[in-house]
Structure 1
Amino acid sequence: MNKRQARLFAIGATAVSALAFLALTVDSHRQFDKLTNAGAITPAVTRGMNVWHANNCINCHTVFGEGAYYAPDLTKITKLRGTPYLTAYMRDPSKFYDESRHRRLMPKQNLGERDIADLIAFLDWVSNVDNQGWPPRPILVTGSTFPGTDVAVAQAAGTGAPPAARPVSGADDPAALGERLFRSVQPACAACHSIAPGVNMAGPSLAGVGARATQLLASGYDGKATDVAGYLRESITQPSAHVVPGAMYSANGVSFMPATYGKDLTPQQVDQLVAYLSSLK
């Protein structure tokens, strides 16, 4: 290739690259409203964004991968935690963990009810933005050392699987199918419940839940179930049928657990979840 040919090649390649860049830019702008869920930006969302910035939430938390990475990523938080839970948490975070053991993890911001509602509206808008699968998984906080997940607990213990985990034994095993549902149903049970003993997340640990259910049915139970399987089924489909007074998992007699599983799951799927939970030791 002589100098003239090299010059023409460089000019042509630059022109093609520029055209491709312009085409991609125009296409991105064409899709911005859809990708960013712009149609759902309400005055409450805008106010919530201002609350987010005014309280420097990004100094600890991240959204869309931007932030301090000190506290959990909140990009999809409203899909993992319902409004009642988030409202109660922001009113007084210290009720959700033992400060004497774990220090002050989340400061009490003394937000008003409107600020809390607007902040949740903002986070809900964030959670519905098409972020192409980012973050790949949420960062979860448990009742153990921050940050904790079942995987972290297993790694700390030097094991390859979380405590109380059971292997998937076959396609026809109800408990195995229930384990898959536990991790795949939306919202995922595993997003709020650990199966590691003593590791409480947004919901209590489910390790040994069958034995605890037996004790509960014998004393202090307010629901209608008469056996462990019935209690587990009731807990999945009617989570407010029995709540523990004073526990951090409910407010005003209403459980923070979504009450939608009874409609979203078939009776067979509920039975599979019950079989899996009954198998946890």
Structure 2
Amino acid sequence: MNKRQTRSFALISTAIAAVVFLGMTVDSHRQFPKLTNAQQITPEVTRGKDVWHEYNCINCHTLFGEGAYYAPDLTKITQQRGTPYLTAFLKDPSKFYDEQRHRRLMPNLKLNDEEIAALIAFMDWVSKVDNQGWPPRPILVTGTSIPGMDLTVAQQNVAGGNQPPAARPVSGKEDPIALGEALFRTTATPVCSACHSIAPGVNLAGPTLAGLAARAKQVIASPDYKGKAKDVEGFIRESIVTPSAYLHPGDMYSANGMSFMPDTFAKSLTPEQIDQLVAYLASFQ
């Protein structure tokens, strides 16, 4: 191209790029109210934002991947933990984590009930912002360096002295245990492995699921059990769909007769997905 053609090409390309950029900017602003869930910004949400800043939560935590990295990203924390758990945790974090074992402990900020409710309302609003999948990982509370935390079901059964499912033909497309394991690790709201370990003795926000089938049998046989399950699969299904039917011992798992585990799985998962999770979890002898 000669100089005139080069100049024309540059001007036309710049003009096209500018028009595209302006169009995308206008479209983004058009979608902001819906994407940011702006219609749900209540006075309590605004108050919660003030609490967040007043106590400098961002010095340790992040929202949308922005902030400090000493403590977990809290973008989806209300979907991962639920209001009952967060309320109890904010009142006394020391009941949930041991400083020596976990190497860090959130300080007790001495928040009053109004501040806690407002802060949770703010974080719940944040969790419902359409952030296009960012941050691209499940929330991590105690880290992933705990030995045995990432055992597969086959490895877990081997560790327990049982014949692993891998000893029989397994199809990732058809085997319900394999499909259940995939759901356990990847279901977005929330990710089961964010709260539950499958390693013996490793309790996170929820109790370890190692040996779940054996424990289920003991619970069902106990006179203190008031649920409706008659077998291991029924107990696991009940625990997923109506988690407060049986409360696992320990103050860090329930309060006021209500489990901290979210009770939304009956709606967020299909019956087929629940069947697959049950098959996976029932294999933990």
Q: TM-score range by the shorter chain?
A: 0.7 to 0.9
Q: Mean alpha-carbon deviation: is it higher for 108-117 or for 9-18?
A: 9-18
Matches within 5 A, 1:25-174: 25-142=25-142, 147-148=143-144, 153-154=149-150, 163-164=155-156, 169-170=170-171, 171-174=173-176
Shift in Å, 1:220:
6.7
Which of 253, 258, 261 is the aligned partner of 1:254? 258
Q: Given the superposition, is the C-alpha separation of residues 17 and 268 from structure 1 closer, same or farther in structure 2, using an over 3 Å criterion?
A: closer
Shift in Å, 1:123:
0.9
The 8 Å contact of residues 149 and 197 in structure 2, kept in 1 or not, is answered as no
Shift in Å, 1:269:
5.0
| CA RMSD between the two structures | 3.0
Q: Given the superposition, is the C-alpha separation of residues 4 and 226 from structure 1 closer, same or farther in structure 2, using an over 3 Å criterion?
A: closer
Matched residue SS, 1:134: coil
Counterpart residue identity of residue 61, structure 1: H
The Cα offsets for residues 21-75 of structure 1, whole Å up to 9 and x where unpaired, read as 2222222222211221111111111111111111111111111111112211111
Query: What stretches of structure 1 of length at least 5 have no aligned partner?
Result: none
Q: Given the superposition, is the C-alpha separation of residues 162 and 27 from structure 1 closer, same or farther in structure 2, using an over 3 Å criterion?
A: farther
Distance of 2:176 and 2:193 partners within structure 1: 18
Ranked by relative contact order (alpha carbons within 8 Å, sequence separation 6 or more), the top structure is 2
Counterpart residue identity of residue 18, structure 2: A
Counterpart residue identity of residue 178, structure 2: A
The Cα offsets for residues 247-270 of structure 1, whole Å up to 9 and x where unpaired, read as 311011211112233466566654
Counterpart residue identity of residue 101, structure 1: R
Q: Mean alpha-carbon deviation: is it higher for 243-252 or for 117-126?
A: 243-252
Counterpart residue identity of residue 123, structure 2: L
Q: Partner of 1:194 in structure 2? A: 197
- TM-score w.r.t. length of structure 2: 0.82
Distance of 2:271 and 2:40 partners within structure 1: 35
Matched residue SS, 2:196: coil
Distance of 2:141 and 2:275 partners within structure 1: 29
Matched residue SS, 1:22: helix
Which of 159, 179, 182 is the aligned partner of 2:184? 182
Distance of 1:63 and 1:104 partners within structure 2: 20
2:221 corresponds to 1:221: no
The 8 Å contact of residues 150 and 162 in structure 1, kept in 2 or not, is answered as no
Q: Given the superposition, is the C-alpha separation of residues 257 and 12 from structure 1 closer, same or farther in structure 2, using an over 3 Å criterion?
A: same
Matches within 5 A, 1:268-279: 269-279=273-283
State how many pairs are aligned: 273
Q: Given the superposition, is the C-alpha separation of residues 13 and 52 from structure 1 closer, same or farther in structure 2, using an over 3 Å criterion?
A: same
Q: Mean alpha-carbon deviation: is it higher for 233-242 or for 68-77?
A: 233-242
Distance of 2:131 and 2:56 partners within structure 1: 23
Query: What stretches of structure 2 of length at least 5 have no aligned partner?
Result: 158-164
4+ runs deviating over 6 angstroms: 149-152, 159-162
Shift in Å, 1:79:
1.4
The 8 Å contact of residues 153 and 284 in structure 2, kept in 1 or not, is answered as no
Distance of 2:272 and 2:12 partners within structure 1: 63
Q: Partner of 2:12 in structure 1? A: 12
Distance of 1:123 and 1:210 partners within structure 2: 35
